[in-house]
């Protein structure tokens, strides 16, 4: 049977095309002058530049972490270009009509039309292409509700107080090696602010696309939900198929003020490399949210791409009664490696967290769950429930679980459940005997395994995630 499944897993990467777009790309290499240039390109105020430079100097002193269960050649940070933008973006197009049609076609090909009338109803999109935001839709409609949704480079100009107050407040500049690098060189990303008591009237989403060769993407996203507000945000990402590895080191910070709720969903489909492990994106991302009193942060992620993933969306449950959730599906195949999970830091009283992680490994891939649940001394009555399930497809892949539990409060309760299962002969045979082909059968079994997580995604994207999984499992069964 494993042969049949192997075949079914020989996937094609639909988003692997490259768009011919004239770009302005920095020479590769990183030093202070590069950071000054990025800052100048963005027309940044002095404080922002200084923040970047401080981060850069801190980064120089830091060492690349090597504790993750992943293996990749050393990254040459001088071989990467830290800025690339379509030339047509230089004069800041005022409307969609002025945007390079090739750019719009790129997003259309990815199934993300940027003309508002063609959009999924109720979803506003910020499209980030290499180092810049190309377009943000539905801005006027959002402004009516007082919601700010714009490229972070623009927010630095227009809302400096908000940015200055919150940037680095959740993920400090020197938090870790990749976060420090990002803080020095971040180019664009989305900024969201939901005012007090406001329920954001539509889903917000950002689509990241790496197009140019040898460039890294270092986006930074900052979402601030003021007291009593609600927002649901989704990010998606793709990249062309290339033989070289490309670095993606993003930082996402969420600030959930008292009684607010942030739902953050990711459908990650970076190019995973070919079946021999050539090419693909290194996805080294720091995502963290801070939840104040009665606030709630949910991370939902569906990860099917990237050659190497190193990512732990986390919640600092600072306020009493705050809630953190992490729902994850990570699929690895070929030579992909993923080390992903979450951190739930319980600080306040009666804080609650739920972790549901589903890892699917196929081919020669390695899939690790790494999670930290920490109960602080003040976290009276705090609770955590963790469920960690691994599904193995074939006999050459690996699934690993590294749970860390630290409790400094005797009244806190921590539960951890873990299972490992296989797509069995019998399951496959049953499906085929009922007339389903191998591909359909495998994707159905895998989808069933992920059901608990998919139901957490916003409706529009649950379907998309299911399809993505299906495509990821699609192959050439004759």
Partner 1 sequence: MLSIKNLHASVEEKNIIKGLNLEVKPGEVHAIMGPNGAGKSTLGYVLSGRDGYEVSEGEAMLNGKDLLELDVEERAREGLFLAFQYPVEIPGVSNMEFMKESVNAMREERGEEPLSAAEFLKKAKEACKQVQLPLDFLKRGVNEGFSGGEKKRNEIMQMILLEPKLCILDESDSGLDVDALQVVADGVNSQRDGERSFIVVTHYQRLLDYIKPDFVHILADGKIVKSGDASLALEVEKSGYAFLGKAYEEVEA
**Given the rule CB under 8 A, which of 218-226, 284-292, 334-342, 443-451 is the region that contacts partner 1?**
443-451
Q: Could you tell me whether strands 123-129 and 132-136 are parallel, antiparallel, or unpaired per DSSP bridges?
A: antiparallel
Helical H segments across 191-321, by residue range:
none
Instruction: Give the residue with the Cβ less far from partner 1, 75 or 431.
Output: 431
Which residues fall within 8 angstroms of residue 177, CB to CB, at 6 or more apart? 59, 62, 63, 64, 65
Dist. CA 281–CA 41, nearest whole Å: 26
Shortest spacing between CB 252 and partner 1, in angstroms: 29
CB nearer to partner 1: pick between 95 and 433? 433
Q: Please say which residue, 114 or 450, places its beta carbon nearer to partner 1.
A: 450
Site string for partner 1, 451-470 (x = CB under 8 A): xx------------------
Positions 415 through 434 that interact with partner 1 (CB under 8 A): 424-427, 429-434
Helix intervals (H) in 127-215 = 139-144, 152-158, 160-166, 177-185
Rounded to the nearest 5 degrees, what angle is found at the Cα of 297, between the Cα atoms of 292 and 299? Answer: 155
Enter the DSSP assignment of 81.
B
> Quick check: 49 binds partner 1 (CB under 8 A)?
no
Of 74 and 434, nearer to partner 1 (C-beta) is 434
| Torsion angle defined by CA atoms of residues 262, 200, 120 and 209, in that order, rounded to the nearest 10 degrees | -50
**Closest C-alpha to 474, from 449, 425, 452, 441:** 441
Beta bridge partners of 369: 340, 401
Shortest Cβ 358–partner 1 spacing (Å): 10
| Euclidean distance between CA atoms 371 and 348, whole angstroms | 19
First to last CA, the chain: 15
**How many residues of this chain interact with partner 1, rule: CB under 8 A?**
25
Strands 296-303 and 314-317: unpaired
90 vs 451, beta carbon nearer partner 1 = 451
- The answer for residues whose C-beta is within 8 angstroms of residue 46's C-beta and 6 or more apart is none
Q: Is 445 in the site for partner 1 (CB under 8 A)?
A: yes
Scanning residues 147 to 166, which ones bind partner 1 (CB under 8 A)? Answer: none
Q: For the CB of residue 440, give the shortest distance to partner 1 in the complex, in Å.
A: 7
Segment contacting partner 1 (CB under 8 A): 140-148, 248-256, 327-335, 450-458? 450-458
For residue 5, state whether it binds partner 1 (rule: CB under 8 A).
no
Choice between 183 and 443, CB closer to partner 1: 443
Tell me the closest approach of the beta carbon of residue 466 to partner 1, in angstroms. 11
For position 449 contacting partner 1 by CB under 8 A, the verdict is: yes
Catalog residues that contact partner 1 under the rule CB under 8 A. 1, 4, 424-427, 429-438, 440, 444-445, 447-452
């Amino acid at each position: 049977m494993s042969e049949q499944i192997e075949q079914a897993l020989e996937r094609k990467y639909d988003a692997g095309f490259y768009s011919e777009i004239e770009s302005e790309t920095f020479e590769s290499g990183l030093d202070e002058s590069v950071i000054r240039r990025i800052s100048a390109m963005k027309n940044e105020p002095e404080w922002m530049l200084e923040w970047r430079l401080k981060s850069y100097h801190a980064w120089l002193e830091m060492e690349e972490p090597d504790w993750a269960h992943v293996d990749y050649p050393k990254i040459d940070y001088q071989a990467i270009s830290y800025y690339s933008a379509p030339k047509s973006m230089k004069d800041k197009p005022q409307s969609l009509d002025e945007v390079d049609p090739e750019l719009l076609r790129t997003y259309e090909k990815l199934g993300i039309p940027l003309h508002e009338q063609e959009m999924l109803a109720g979803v506003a999109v910020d499209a980030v292409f290499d180092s810049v935001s190309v377009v943000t839709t539905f801005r006027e409609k959002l402004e009516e509700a007082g919601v700010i949704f714009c490229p972070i480079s623009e927010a630095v100009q227009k809302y400096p107080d908000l940015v200055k107050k919150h940037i680095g407040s959740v993920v400090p500049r020197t938090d870790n090696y990749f976060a420090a690098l990002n803080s020095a060189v971040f180019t664009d990303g989305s900024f969201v602010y939901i005012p007090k008591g406001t329920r954001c009237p539509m889903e917000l989403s950002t689509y990241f696309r790496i197009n140019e060769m040898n460039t890294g993407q270092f986006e930074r996203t900052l979402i601030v939900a003021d007291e009593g507000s609600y927002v649901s945000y989704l990010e998606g990402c793709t990249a062309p198929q290339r033989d070289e590895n490309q670095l993606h080191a993003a930082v996402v910070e969420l600030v959930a003020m008292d009684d607010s709720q942030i739902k953050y969903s990711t459908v990650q489909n970076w190019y995973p490399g070919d079946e021999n492990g050539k090419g693909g994106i290194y996805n080294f991302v720091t995502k963290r949210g801070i939840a104040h009193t009665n606030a709630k942060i949910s991370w939902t992620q569906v990860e099917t791409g990237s050659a190497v993933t190193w990512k732990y969306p986390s919640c600092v449950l600072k306020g009493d009664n705050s809630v953190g959730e992490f729902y994850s599906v990570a699929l690895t195949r070929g030579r992909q490696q993923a080390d992903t999970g979450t951190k739930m830091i319980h600080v306040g009283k009666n804080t609650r967290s739920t972790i549901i992680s589903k890892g699917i490994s196929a081919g020669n891939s390695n899939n690790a769950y790494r999670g930290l649940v920490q109960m602080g001394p003040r976290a009276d009555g705090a609770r955590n429930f963790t469920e960690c399930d691994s599904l193995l497809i074939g006999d050459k892949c690996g699934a690993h679980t590294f749970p860390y539990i630290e409790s400094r409060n005797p009244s806190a309760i921590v539960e951890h459940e873990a299972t490992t299962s296989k797509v069995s002969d019998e399951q496959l045979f049953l499906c085929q005997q009922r007339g389903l082909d191998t591909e359909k059968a495998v994707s159905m079994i895998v989808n069933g395994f992920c059901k608990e997580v998919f139901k957490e995604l916003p409706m529009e994207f649950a379907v998309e995630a299911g399809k993505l999984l299906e495509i990821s499992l699609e192959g050439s069964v004759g």
